[in-house]
Structure 1
């Protein structure tokens, strides 16, 4: 049997990580080369953007126009750096996924994990399509003046639209097409980092949820699955299996939390700021339809990105809470007393659902998403009043 990573369940995420040099099971030399290429591409656009931002510090409107794309690239950079720093931890998590697949003996358990993994793969595909659609709308915005010149001609051509503010220390009107092509080559690289970082995160979450569902089924069947000829051995072995599954799940979540927590904290903060700024720019440029469309779509993408990350954490909370419910609803009080005592530590560990946090401050959940959106709207209202 080949590796689980060769299956269609993981092929998309694996291909994306290989492309960016972040797949830990390919040669280190190849990974280093691809990482350097990524840094070269993103750095070549981030530097002129940052120079323009510094030069524009005295112009509030221009600063606000520079900030959204700086935040977008910043999110991509944070995710990429987090991968690079935590390569060994990521590899450790992937090895644990392989271990879990190999440890499953019952076909029912394997089918359950396949269902969760395949569902996550399909949802990841929808997420990627949504973000790349936002990117597509953003990238076609410079062509809107040309389209409007054809549909609603004027006596003079409409001014050109730059994809974002940059400073190359050259005549930007003269080299407009060169700058635009450079943007078209580099922006998708940052977005790809965001997409596959989130796909990998979702893959870890879905795997954990699948293992929790397997644990639930074993808990629910605890009293029914024991054999009549040797009930003592049957109870012991099944409680031991449930305890092992729970321990592996908790350790996996702890490792996942330590690998992502700091990066998620920075990403959530930048994401909230990005939502505020793009919403503000949509209002400021209300008289420029193409710009309004661009920043409105960008704003929707930023909201969707924050929602997606929070929703993944919320799924984990719900699934681990269901383990607690199953532990108390499996008629455990009907089994012999000595085995009831073995269940007590298990049930105590199930009381508190497992969570993924952003820097220990922000729980990745839908409740936190609602709080973040309210804070973002407050920032937006404040900036709008200042403007």
Structure 2
């Protein structure tokens, strides 16, 4: 086992009090997924770097061999939409892969900061809150893994179905290897090397799908823990008001300390959320742009369906994947905003007006901070929320409508 992982686990060992170790308890599935594709930030040996180059190279070369179709075919609007509909989907997968590769140190630092916050949590009820959100993140991760496996199975079935059909009907006609739903140009005899081309295609799809699931669930799990931190802030405020109503100087001091601890963990939750998302700003901007192009092109392929059921199924799968990713990412960001607002709703609802004057002044200061909403900004320009997800969906359909009307003309 890697020495850094052992050291990371060692920070969770304390003989005097119960502690939370994020890697072994809450990020274990995410760690396995990222290890498979070489993106776990705590294990970056030369062998892992070589693994990264091979996997990322496989994904990138498949994108290149799709774009080379323009060099050997007549460039028409139909060809452009057909090639870009799949090429930009794999570009989205490559962006996700690359974002975690170049931001490995950022991810490592984020995990360390999150672990430091968890190390300060000693209350059993607060630990229970962390574990509750950790279990929720694991359920989401497992569900997305199963969904990814299903879509991967559908993708493979699309390509092996002609072979299965050939065997089932027992026809004497030679089967064609050209039943291709993703246009590529390898500059070789595609009939002779069909199995190698198929291997490359499926390898790229497996790597890209795994990268999307692994990186997406890692971000969701991380942000779920920041939601837990907001929830702990609410718990500490409630505890502080409860303590303050027991009239004694010592209780008043303890109440002040609880409020200070609530403010600290609330600030840490905001800081950790912003730190991670802001460092992925460029990647998210490129991902949004590539995703919009991919959505528009695949919508065009769906409405232009003629008789190729395989292409229709492939485009529908890509649309479902992208819209699901759009919804989940914005839903998670919306949860961050909601949890932040719930902190101030808790402050309004507790009986703070019955607390000592000193506590009331601290509460009023917190209420003033609640006037400003907190949102995660994706790509430096996009406010992540469910409303924004609906807006992006509407925009993609609007762009598609314009392109479709142009094509009709």
**In the alignment, what sits opposite 1:331?**
351
1:372–1:88 CA distance, 2 compared to 1 (3 A): same
CA distance in 1, matches of 2:368, 2:72: 58
C-alpha distance in 1 between matches for 2:230 and 2:254: 21
Conserved 8 A contact 2:89-2:318: no
Do residues 285 (structure 1) and 305 (structure 2) align?
A: yes
Relative to structure 1, the CA distance from residue 54 to residue 371 in structure 2 (aligned partners, 3 Å threshold; closer, same or farther) is: farther
| Gap change, CA 1:335 and 1:60, over 3 Å in 2 | same
2:243 and 2:252 in contact (8 A); partners too: no
| RMSD (Å) for aligned C-alpha atoms | 2.3
CA distance in 2, matches of 1:234, 1:348: 23
Partner of residue 274 from structure 1, selected from 294, 312, 315? 294
C-alpha change, 1:44 and 1:360, in structure 2 (3 Å) is closer
2 CA distance for matches of 1:113 and 1:200? 16
User: Is 2:243 the partner of 1:225?
Assistant: yes
Q: Say if 2:181 and 2:311, in contact at 8 Å, map to a contact too.
A: no
Q: Which residue of 1 aligns with 2:142?
A: 125
Does the 8 Å contact 1:19/1:34 carry over to 2?
no
Query: What's the TM-score once normalised by structure 2's chain length?
Result: 0.87
Conservation of the 8 A alpha-carbon contact between 2:148 and 2:213: yes
Structure 2: gaps (5+ residues): 1-8, 13-20
Q: Does 1:312 align with 2:332?
A: yes
Cα–Cα, structure 1 residues 152 and 277, in superposed 2: closer, same or farther, change >3 Å?
farther
Confirm or deny that 1:206 pairs with 2:228: no
CA deviation profile, 1:321-374 (whole Å, cap 9, x unmatched): 111111211222222222222233333333333221222322221101111111
Measured in 1, the distance between the counterparts of 2:308 and 2:183 equals 16
Structure 2 residue 123 is the aligned partner of structure 1 residue 106: yes
The 2-side partners of 1:279 and 1:149 are apart by 31
Residue 156 of structure 1, CA deviation = 5.6
**Stretch deviating more after TM superposition (140-149 or 120-129):** 140-149
Contact 1:128 1:195 in 2 (8 A): yes
- Where structure 1 has 5 or more consecutive residues not aligned to the other structure, the ranges are none
Contact 2:278 2:378 (C-alpha < 8 Å) held by counterparts: no
After superposition, what is the alpha-carbon deviation per residue over 1:121-161, rounded to whole angstroms, capped at 9, x for unaligned?
11122122223322321222123334455667889667531
Deviation at 1:191, TM superposition (A): 1.4
Secondary structure of 1:162's partner? coil
Alpha carbons of structure 1 residues 119 and 379: separation in structure 2 relative to 1, 3 Å: same
The partner residue of 1:51 within 47, 65, 68 is 68
Residue of 339, 347, 350 corresponding to 2:367:
347
